[in-house]
A and B are shown apart, each in its own frame.
Chain A
Amino acid sequence: MSGAFTILGGGVCGLAMAAELSSRAAQVTVIDPKGAPGDHACSWWAGGMLAPDCEGVSAEPEIVRQGRKAAKWWEHQGGAVHHEGTLVVALHRDQSDLATFARRAPTATPLSRTQIADHEPHLADRYSKALFLADEGHLDPRATLTTLHARLRDRGVRFDADIEGQVIDCRGLAARDTLTDLRGVKGEMLVVRCPDVTLSRPVRLLHPRFPLYIVPRGDGVFMLGATQIEAGERGRATLRSVMELMNAAYALHPAFGEAELLEIGVDARPAFPDNQPRIRRIGDTIYVNGLFRHGFLLAPALAQMTADLVLDGEIPEVWYEDHRQR
């Protein structure tokens, strides 16, 4: 079965939805204020880590389970996924955080200094212990969204048409007009260029107050993220937050002190109270939202489940709510 579908919003959720539906021969229209991926979507500012095991330390088990599907899906859609795993370190005085992390991330393998040198030579003289999560990956969110957008156009997905058929609302925080339990969680990030440091994979620095992740983007460029503040504002990066991110990067490796600051980004992630996403049917519309800090990680599973729902009438195994009876 197929039909016509209109997807509201062209962020990671909307484009993944369009990809999944169009690959199953449905007629798809995407309506987005700018018509193409850009800084109006919070996924533009994402880290692009496909790190279900790391996230599992604080996220619900279902997020880990559904997130494991992400890497393969993105590759299938033409995304360049790097399968380099994740390295987790802590400063000397925060070693207890490393122990806690190891306990809560069962797939993490402890690395000695020599083993760290094998993975990330630039960190070996600074850390004698680390954790390695081999099954994780990362991608470049902007390149991935831009590539996917082009592929969708080639595939006949329309970005300049009117609403037609079943509406699937993937507008993120903008859908608060209907989804009253959706809230924004502000995040700030930096992009820097630091040719003095080479990293092959995302590195997470555990810290009781200023946890940090650094994702290599190639050519000496790194994304540093991200704050997590209970506030819905989508702008206004504060000096405090930026300073904390910079401090943490400097603590991770002093060479970041010489990095060139390329970008300060800020936006708010859409989240439901349990920080888990929803596929919610209200009236004739299906809302896919609340991906929180797991946009690239969960969009594939959500797109697949939603496509199964609208094309085959298959009820999603998780995160589905039918509000029509209310």
Chain B
Amino acid sequence: MPTFYGTEITSRLMLGTAQYPSPATLADTFRRSGAGIATVSVRREAGGDQAGQDFWTLIRDLGVAVLPNTASCYSVREAVTTAHMARELFDTNWIKLEVIGHADTLQPDPFGLVEAAAQLAEDGFEVFPYCTEDLVLCERLVEVGCKVLMPWGAPIGTGLGLNNIYGLRSLRAHFPDIPLVVDAGLGLPSHASRAMELGYDAVLLNTAVAKAGDPAAMAHAFALAVEAGALAAGADPMDPRDMAAPSTPVFGKAML
């Protein structure tokens, strides 16, 4: 299994904790999925006097590693402050860094992202940046200390799958030793499978599961797909070819 900042993960499926019909469904979904890492938004639930305490206790009780995130932060300062708050709340240096650049597409602000990542790395955080599949951006993130990259498949919540296979593939080729996680945009288990087949280390998703009619069943489906894709990637898949290649020889066969 891949290692994130020295910790070997237990499952290649990572799940968000927002938008479930109830906390009980959320817990059930984690059980069925075998996901080993839960991302949790800190900002909105925080409120005065840490009003989100009950929900966070519930997340801790899931018994999985918690990856707090800076969802809905639009500036470097907001993201950095939120990260520090998350570290206190969850007693972890891990932070999934989101610096949103566009309210409509929720696409990352690459410039703010690099700046915030550099600052947080200096502050001793282990940063999981939510980024695009832009190679140069990813190089900058690695330069400032990111040891995991989380490019999007498609904009958050769209369920469109992997929008830029070429970009994701070339990212994998350029960073053979950096754990890569497709984060955001997945809608179906086949999308997750595809990401694994590209050689990605894990996937992170939320809406596709939380908004399914049966979240726990959908999470189970994703778990199976991720396992299938990873197994396939490790089995050295054949390369596609244009000509038919019959699996039994036809030469000399009687023409009837």
Binding site for B on A (CB under 8 A): 58-60, 100, 104, 183-184, 186, 208-209, 229-233, 235-236, 240, 271, 273-276
Contact = CB atoms under 8 A, between A and B. Distances in A.
Given A232-B54, A274-B25, A208 B45 contact: no
A238 to B, nearest CB: 8
Interface stretch (B16-24, B111-119, B176-184, B227-235): B16-24
B2 interface: no
Contacts of A184: 51, 54
Contacts of B246: none
Given A104-B213, A186-B47, A273-B58, A231 B22 contact: no
A82 B213 CA distance: 30
Contacts of B55: 183, 230-231
Interface of B: 21-25, 27, 44-49, 51-55, 58, 157, 207, 211, 213
A275 B54 contact: no
Contacts of A273: 22-24, 27, 58
Nearest to B53: A232
Contacts of A275: 21-24
Interface centre among A100, A183, A236, A271 (most CB of B within 10 A): A183
Contacts of B45: 229-231
Given A208-B157, A231-B45, A274 B22 contact: yes
Closest 3 CB pairs of A and B: A274-B24, A233-B51, A230-B55
A231 B47 contact: yes
Contact of A186 (B22, B23, B51): B51
20 contacts: A104-B213, A183-B54, A183-B58, A184-B51, A186-B51, A208-B207, A229-B45, A230-B45, A231-B44, A231-B45, A231-B55, A232-B53, A233-B48, A235-B48, A240-B44, A271-B22, A273-B22, A273-B27, A273-B58, A275-B22
B85 to A, nearest CB: 14
Given A104-B213, A273-B22, A275-B24, A232 B51 contact: yes
B82 to A, nearest CB: 14
Contact of A233 (B23, B49, B157): B49
Nearest to A271: B22
A229 B44 CA distance: 7
Nearest to B59: A230
Interface centre among A59, A186, A230 (most CB of B within 10 A): A230
Nearest to B213: A104
A235 B47 CA distance: 9
Contact of B47 (A58, A104, A233): A233
A186 B49 CA distance: 14
Given A186-B51, A231-B45, A276-B22, 9 more contacts: A60-B21, A183-B58, A208-B207, A209-B157, A229-B52, A230-B45, A230-B55, A231-B46, A232-B52
B53 A59 contact: no
Contacts of A271: 22
